[in-house]
Copies of this chain bind each other. A is one copy, B any other.
């Protein structure tokens, strides 16, 4: 581990106190907020000295002395993914409103990294940890993460998860299953009968939940998804693209394709276009990524209020801990039908 920077040399409170001709204690009380008050003229003198010396309190030292910090950790899979950057934006908004600093870490979808960062944040004595997207079904990793978060909570920190409902902590649950079910219902309502699913990784809960929900919704309309209409692949644009090509190779008769997220849907559209099949095969996604709202054809999807989800997680973590069981806030997406699924004109 490489460390560096900030060698001794910053102005300390002691220098400020000396400059102002008061004691260290008084300077602390005057500047850095305290229950005790200081006579106005003295406070003024200290403030002037601080300004003159360009003093900024050492947050680390304050943290050590006070026993708490104003740092919250946000762990996401990939900050470059608009899904996560929107969540981060929402969380940062709330953090800023509460005077908290946010430390963001990206796991690159490796569950180990989540544990590692959780431990690092425990070391930093972060006030809270929010983890977005821990969703593998790796039993062992999940258990170790649970243990780490437990230790974090026992040492006084607060924890919230986004989209993961498998650990006993406060959670903003994204109703992936229900959303996908609703989507399937609407799509069958449009007359589609032959579906394919670009299903993402097998071990990613978000992906498997959406697949499961979609299957349920189809079942509600009396349709069964043939196994060869499900193609697994990566959870990103290229994954959608490649899975779409694979699906086309297997079956040319698919009417409507559900990609388990918008980014994959975009890849699928590109693949269809390359085969001259766009506008012939309907495509639906999930998330309603803002940046993607202008693509053509406009993408049918399930809208998730991502920034609100991030904000909600942070608010959850800021509230007093519940004394009972852990809270959960369920966020349900809303189906948005657009041009990419125009409906079936049979005849």
Contact = CB atoms under 8 A, between A and B. Distances in A.
Interface string A83-100: 001101100110010111
Interface stretch (A155-163, A173-181, A324-332): A155-163
A100 B290 CA distance: 31
Copies in the complex: 2
Given A85-B80, A123-B56, A1 B70 contact: yes
Interface residues of A, number: 77
Interface string A37-70: 0000000000000000010111111011011111
A347 interface: no
B80 A106 contact: no
A105 B101 contact: yes
A337 interface: no
Interface string A1-22: 1111111111100000000000
A57 B121 CA distance: 11
Interface of A: 1-11, 54, 56-61, 63-64, 66-71, 78-80, 82, 85-86, 88-89, 92-93, 96, 98-106, 119-120, 122-128, 151, 154-158, 237, 263, 266-267, 269-270, 273, 289-292, 294-296, 307, 318
14 contacts: A2-B99, A3-B70, A6-B156, A9-B155, A10-B122, A56-B123, A60-B61, A71-B103, A80-B85, A80-B290, A80-B307, A82-B291, A88-B104, A102-B103
